[in-house]
Chains A and B, each alone.
Chain A
Amino acid sequence: MADRKLIRNFGIIAHIDHGKSTLADRLLERTGSISKREMREQFLDDMDLEREMGITIKANRATVKHTHDGQEYMLNLIDTPGHVDFHYEVSRAMAACEGVLLLVDATQGVQAQTVANAYLAVEGNVEIVLVINKIDLPGANPDETALEVEHILGLAAEEAIYTSAKTGEGLDELLTAIVQQVPSPGGDENSPLRALVYDAKSDPHRGVICNVRLVDGVVKRGDKIRMMAVGSEHVVTEVGKYMPKATAVADLAAGEVGYLVAGIKTLADVNIGDTITHASRPAETALPGYEAPNQMVFCDFYPGPGTDTAELREAMEELWVNDCSFTYDPATSDALGIGFRCGFLGLLHMKIIQERLERESDVNVVQTAPTVTYEIAMNDGSVKQIQSPSEMPDPSKIMEIREPFCTANIIVPAEYIGAVMSLSLERRGVHKKTEYLSPARVMLTYEFPLGEIIYDYYDKLKSCTRGYGTVDYEITDFRGGKLVKMDILVNAIAVDALSVIVHADKAARRGRALISRLKKEISRHMFEIPLQAAIGAKVIARETIKAFRKNVTAKCYGGDVSRKRKLLEKQKEGKKRMKQVGSVEIPQEAFMSILEPEDG
């Protein structure tokens, strides 16, 4: 059993791309956990998509050994994702740590997710070790960066450790700081077992592997355990640690981090955040656990060409079992058939899930425009939440429509304040405060309707700040607003999958943009096709797709038969990609095209 005083549990947190995974590489390497031969960049990012995109999507953990002052320490590190969609992974990691390394890129300075993640660490009541990274780069300003952090987060600049996760410079100091500054875990190995399930994954051969942090007690192979929330009991077949490869050990004791296999068949049988205890000597109270991740955007997935609903369902179930960060419920659309309403943590998360579905199960997905959750206060006093415009009740019965609001921190060089302010005003943002991180950089705090910021605000911010602006947001509450459901009519038929909820003042503009995009997607027919955007019975934007007057091949003789027939066969295949709405054929791409950012 390891001596708890020689254990350090810490997370690595930072803004996206500030070098967390690369620093983890260096720690693995320096401690001899993996050989040079096995090494590859961002070693812990083991998902294909993570490697392709160069970002971390899921938190990863590893245990490494480090000798300091003649003592061998066991360091449990958790590499976390930086992207805003995956904040919940960071907050979960906090519950398994006594400390964090807060990394800040010395060429970029403090960014929005630096602040957000630091707050999570403060909330989690863990020790923060400030690390200024990428000092090898020519544009690095480590001192200034450290001062910025001191200014905005109150962490002492002189205690910052300067590193290069690329060259390994500063790593010895960092290891010393981890040993000296991160507290050893508390807990009591003699108390009844309490192990927090902070993550779980499914293995085709061994069933579910629970990643656990031991708070009290000891667990070993052969123990009969109980999941306190679920109530199920299992016999432990293996306990181990990620070294970084999964390696079986004799036991796991209070303070340690590792994994546990216990013949659990599917992830549906495990609650992330549940507490594991012994069946024979159960703990009295469970650990606080986690709140389920909060889905912020919703859209529908329908079966695309060559896929049917049953196949899509199977694919969704399979993926969900491995990654329950999204939700899905049955949904139907007149235009698109039977599919699923899905909830996501953000737009990146939505794209990742769609990509994984298509990749891992070989299905085709047609997706509708994402929307946030709206709260509808009815005249009869009841309140309901809707996740799709099609669920909107009859307007005459509605007292008020409320939309989610968030607080957003935007960090930009001072010269772009004006640009950010006008962008934010356009997005119905309310300015709350401006703080200078340094004379040259500011953090603006705004309140926004979530729906104004979640889709393309970040892109717009990047383009109006030459790539320097970053933003982070957190949902605060629901507030009533002048919101309306806008329907899109194609040849006088409202297409449910194209409806959107918009702010009344912006409806006309949004409607025009939507319709002109639709006009490009739908090809001409034998008849004229009016396209309209309407709120109730009131048409607020319209366009017409002209009928073709003449569409007939001038010449077709014996030599043309095969070629023309093949052309018809191709058209026939193309028609399969069309959704028939009334007598109009709408290509499936049209349903996606309304996702594209406005103004081109």
Chain B
Amino acid sequence: MGVGLYVHIPFCETKCGYCDFYSLAMKDRPTKPLVGAIVRELTQRRAATDEEVETIFVGGGTPTLLPVDGLKRLVDGIGAFIGGAVLKEFTVEANPASVDTEKIGVLRAGGVDRISMGAQSWHQAELTALERLHNPGDIVEGVRLCRAHDIGRINLDLIFGIIGQTMASWMDSLDRTIDLGVEHISCYALTYEPGTRLTALRDAGRLKPCDESLETEMYLAAIERLAKAGYEQYEISSFAQPGQRCMHNIVYWRNGSYVAVGPSAAGFVGGERYRNVPDLAEYVRRMDRDGTAEIERERITGATLAGETLMMGLRLNEGVELARLGIPAGAPLSPAVDRRIRLHGDGGLLEHHGDYLRLTPRGRLVGDAIISDLFAALHEGVAE
């Protein structure tokens, strides 16, 4: 399997209240030093690996906030990194209001064939609650622009469980997204991540999160609605028309290898995970000074590797290859793991499918609890 490449651009127009990615409000920050440092990291990493890159994802943040020349330097740098490799997929993340004809043109010319846009909702009140700056009209316009530039694959992100959202408005957002005919739709439950403004507001009792039952109903309704419209669910939050799954993300979920560059970016190459410093200025400084901005590096083996494979793999509808849960991979499963699998199987939450173990539709609703349980079992009797 080829490897992925992830590039992190930590700029956003403003910081959304629910977001826990490393990103900064752009304001008048210069972008040149960052792009320069990223291109340098790409060069460095190219020299250190000889793996063939098959998928690329440029995310953030909002990469399309980079000025045209910055974008151009970036896609050129990426082009140099992949050399002559044949890509399967090249995605760039965008916000509906941040794309324009010129930028899309530069991206398309640089080999980008997939755009992922944070649509989130088709209702102004909900967009405001999320502190998103675009309006529903921008979504239509953004998709139109992409299509005009021959971007063949588009993903739109939607969020459910927004404060004040109703089932009707959620179904409406879904329908309007489906009507646009995009190839891929991601439906995320609004998550209260630690350290975000949204979470602080909730904890202070200043907003009341969506009722859990309603959120569950919204999720189930989305699965059903999207299935009818020809979108297959292949991961907890991901739905695609046939042949349109995001191959880059599948690399993550199959616990495959990927190079990552940019501030806060985390990669997994040659069995080792690393992470770059999550600070823009510090990242640029370190790339300039040391030629690396890594602050962590860890070899992943044994139960840790099996645990990660499990944690990521069970997110996929196809599930996880059972053999990979052995320690080491390929060894028979421990009795503890076997017992827990059987228990959840009896409870109708897990099932075997060929050589794979996967969540049932009911299990998918409580995936975290099952993963946590199996994860603990994986470590039972393993020396640490």
Contacts and interface: CB of A to CB of B under 8 A. Distances in A.
B237 interface: yes
B376 A571 contact: yes
Contacts of A525: 369
A547 to B, nearest CB: 8
A549 B315 contact: no
Contacts of A583: 343
A231 interface: no
Contact of B366 (A550, A554, A559): A550
A552 B304 contact: no
A312 to B, nearest CB: 23
B249 interface: yes
Given A526-B347, A559-B260, A564-B311, A551 B366 contact: yes
A553 B369 CA distance: 10
Nearest to A572: B376
B258 interface: yes
Contacts of A575: 376
Interface string A557-598: 111011011001101100100000001000000000000000
B275 A556 contact: no
Interface in B349-384: 349, 364-372, 375-376, 379
B104 interface: no
Interface residues of A, number: 25
Contacts of A561: 252, 255, 266, 268, 273, 308, 311-312
B234 interface: no
Given A554-B237, A558-B260, A549 B275 contact: no
A554 B347 contact: no
A548 B366 contact: yes
A572 B379 contact: yes
A565 B366 CA distance: 17
A440 B372 CA distance: 64
Given A548-B366, A550-B212, A559 B265 contact: yes
A389 B370 CA distance: 36
Contacts of A562: 266, 273, 275, 296, 298
A526 B359 CA distance: 14
A433 interface: no
A572 to B, nearest CB: 4
A555 interface: yes
A557 B268 contact: no
B369 A526 contact: yes
Nearest to A527: B347
Nearest to B347: A526
A422 to B, nearest CB: 36
A554 B215 CA distance: 12
A558 B252 contact: yes
A240 to B, nearest CB: 53
Contacts of B333: none
Interface string B305-343: 001100110010000000000000000000000000001
Nearest to B260: A558
B236 A553 contact: yes
Contact of A552 (B6, B236, B251, B308): B236
Contacts of B190: 554
Interface in B232-274: 236-237, 249, 251-252, 255, 258, 260, 264-268, 273
A568 B189 CA distance: 20
B170 interface: no
Given A562-B273, A562-B275, A571-B372, A552 B364 contact: yes
A527 B251 CA distance: 33
Given A526-B366, A568-B371, A549 B212 contact: yes
B185 to A, nearest CB: 14
B368 A558 contact: no
Nearest to B375: A568
Interface residues of B, number: 50
A572 B375 contact: yes
B349 to A, nearest CB: 7
A572 B268 CA distance: 24
A561 B310 CA distance: 11
A559 B219 CA distance: 24
A109 to B, nearest CB: 47
A548 B189 contact: no
Contacts of B311: 556, 561, 564-565, 568
Nearest to A558: B252
Contacts of A556: 236, 252, 311-312, 315
B219 A550 contact: yes
Given A550-B219, A551-B369, A565 B304 contact: yes
B372 A552 contact: no
Contacts of B298: 562
A546 to B, nearest CB: 9
Given A558-B252, A565-B307, A551 B6 contact: no
A552 B368 contact: yes
A555 B365 contact: no
A555 B158 CA distance: 12
Contacts of B273: 561-562
A549 B365 CA distance: 7
Contacts of B349: 526
B77 interface: no
A450 to B, nearest CB: 43
Contacts of B260: 558-559
Contacts of A527: 347
Given A558-B260, A558-B267, A561-B252, A552 B366 contact: yes
Contact of A558 (B189, B266, B376): B266
B213 interface: yes
B191 A554 contact: yes
A575 B372 CA distance: 10
A552 B191 contact: no
Nearest to B157: A555
B213 A551 contact: no
Contacts of B265: 559
Nearest to B367: A552
A559 B6 CA distance: 9
B369 A557 contact: no
A443 B202 CA distance: 52
Nearest to B379: A572
Contacts of B266: 558-559, 561-562
Nearest to A585: B373
Nearest to B213: A549
Contacts of A564: 311
A9 to B, nearest CB: 61
A561 B347 CA distance: 28
B55 to A, nearest CB: 11
B284 to A, nearest CB: 19
B124 interface: no
A568 B376 CA distance: 8
A557 B219 contact: no
Given A549-B216, A550-B366, A568-B311, A555 B188 contact: yes
Q: Which of A527, A553, A583 has its CB near the most chain B CB atoms (within 10 A)? A: A553
A558 B366 contact: no
Contact of B249 (A552, A554, A557, A568): A557
Nearest to A556: B315
B4 interface: yes
A558 B6 contact: yes
A562 to B, nearest CB: 6
Interface string B170-194: 0000000000000000001111000
Nearest to A546: B212
17 contacts: A526-B347, A527-B347, A550-B219, A551-B365, A551-B367, A552-B189, A552-B364, A554-B236, A558-B266, A559-B8, A561-B273, A561-B311, A562-B273, A562-B275, A568-B311, A568-B371, A575-B376
Given A551-B368, A558-B258, A558-B260, 12 more contacts: A525-B369, A548-B212, A552-B367, A554-B237, A558-B6, A561-B308, A561-B311, A565-B311, A568-B371, A568-B376, A572-B379, A583-B343
10 smallest beta-carbon distances between A and B, as pairs: A552-B367, A572-B376, A554-B188, A550-B216, A549-B216, A568-B375, A554-B189, A558-B252, A559-B266, A551-B366
